[in-house]
Amino acid sequence: MADHLPNSLPHIDELRSRWGGFAWTPENEAQAKLVVGRYPPGRQHSAIIPLLDLAQRQVGEETQTQGWLPVPVIEYVAAYLNMPYMRAYEVATFYTMFNLSPVGRFHVQVCGTTPCMLRGSDDVLAACAAKGLRKGGTTPEGLFTLTEVECLGACANAPMVQINDDNYEDLTFESTTAVLEALARGERPRPGPQIERQTSAPAGGPTTLPEMVAENHDYRGQWA
C-alpha cells in the first residue's frame, strides 16, 4: 500500500499513527447513514463519492485545511461501505475533487484551459505568484495551496478560480489579489463574478427582459 503514496506524503507509519483511528464524528455518522440510506439494498457502494467527500471535509475540520484523504481514511470509508479498499482508492484517484496529499486552508484552483487563458488566466496566476503562491505548492504558513486545473465549467465568466467550494469569476490581476488578501484576513469574499454582472448575464446587465432582474415581471400586458 505504501507504493501508492506520492513522495511528498508522510511515511505510511506516520499516516497510520495520525489517521489510523479515524472515525466519523457523531454529526457525520448521522449524515453518512442518511447518504447510504438513499440507495436501495445492495447498492450501498454507490455512496462512495459523497462519503469520501464527507471524510475529506472532516479531515479538513480537524486540520484547519481544505481537507485531504490519507490512506487510512480511505480504508475507513471503504470498510464502512463493505467494499474493497482498491475500489474506493480508484474513485479517490479519479476525481480531482479529492486531495491525496495535504493542502492548505484554501485550495486555489486556477483554470488554465483555453477560454480562461485567452481572457487572462496568466494575470490570475501572476497575482497568485505575487502573493507567494507557487503551482503545486503550499505557502509556508499553510494558508494557500495553488493548483492549475482544466476546465471548471464557467467559461462564460473567464478567467476564474475555484477556492474550496466557491467560484470567483471575471477576474483580473487586481481582483484576484483582493480575493486572496481578503481570505488571508479571515474574510469571505463575495463569490461569483467580480465585476458588475448577474451570474453569466452580459456584462453591464441583461439586454432583454431587464425588469426580471428585480421581480417576476408580468409582460403579458405589453405583448397583448
Q: Note the pLDDT tens digit of each residue in 44-56.
A: 999 999 999 999 9
Contact by Cβ (8 Å): 135, 146 = yes
| pLDDT above 90 coverage of the chain, percent | 79
Question: What percent of the chain lies above the pLDDT cut of 70?
Answer: 95
Summarised one tens digit per residue, pLDDT across range 202-223 is: 777 777 888 887 888 888 888 7
User: How far is residue 130's CA from residue 168's CA, in Å, rounded to a whole number?
Assistant: 18
Report which residue type is found at 47.
A
Over residues 65-116, the pLDDT tens digits come to 999 999 999 999 999 999 999 999 999 999 989 999 999 999 999 999 999 9
Rounded CA separation 74/45 (Å):
13
pLDDT computed for residue 48 by the predictor: 98
| Other beta carbons less than 10 A from residue 167's beta carbon | 17
DSSP bridge partners of 106 = 144
Q: What is the C-alpha separation between 180 and 65, in angstroms, rounded? A: 16
Q: What is the pTM of this model?
A: 0.83
The confidence band for 131, taking pLDDT boundaries of 50, 70 and 90, is very high
